[in-house]
Structure 1
């Protein structure tokens, strides 16, 4: 199961994230997402665990837990396709209301 973890301290590394979940079962991967421009953590990450029951227990017990003075949020990660765009328009930047088409 893929797990989404947010509100992480900027000092949390991949290995730290893995250690948070290891007591609940086998962690196949743990990745803190890094900002490409700054090289700093973006404050969230993903954890993959093999056992669904262990994953559910980890989510239930770690959600809201304080880690490095921050209350983390832990939930089942949603696939990219299930998330809506930020502005609610799924057609992206080059839609029919594009600046370039309405310019002339």
Structure 2
């Protein structure tokens, strides 16, 4: 299960987050989103935990926890929208007159 972590202190490291989440189970991947130009944290990241039960326990225990002076928010990440092939078909139909 992929989790979204928001309101991170910009100094929080991936290692610190990994330690937090590993208390509740195995972590498949973890990423803090960074500004490409400045290489600074944007204050949010993602954790992927393969076992949904462990992810739910981590979410319940870490949501609202104060980490490095910031009250973090942890929730299930929304799935990425899949490309819709129907949109291109609709465009093709509208071109025909």
Question: What does 1:58-77 correspond to in 2, within 5 Å?
Answer: 58-77=58-77
* TM-score scaled by length of structure 1: 0.75
| Structure 2 counterpart SS, 1:18 | helix
Structure with greater helix percent: 2
- Unmatched runs of 5 consecutive residues or more in structure 1: 83-104
Tell me, yes or no, if the aligned pair for 1:7 and 1:72 is still in contact at 8 Å. yes
Higher relative contact order (CA 8 A, sep 6+): 2
Shift of 1:79: 1.5
Moved segments of 4+, more than 6 Å: none
Question: What does 1:3-82 correspond to in 2, within 5 Å?
Answer: 3-81=3-81
Tell me, yes or no, if the aligned pair for 1:15 and 1:30 is still in contact at 8 Å. no
Shift of 1:55: 0.4
Q: How many residues align?
A: 82
Deviations 1:24-62 (A, max 9, x none): 000111110000111100000000111110100100110
Cα RMSD after superposing both structures: 1.1
Q: Distance in 2 between matches of 1:48 and 1:80?
A: 14
* TM-score scaled by length of structure 2: 0.81
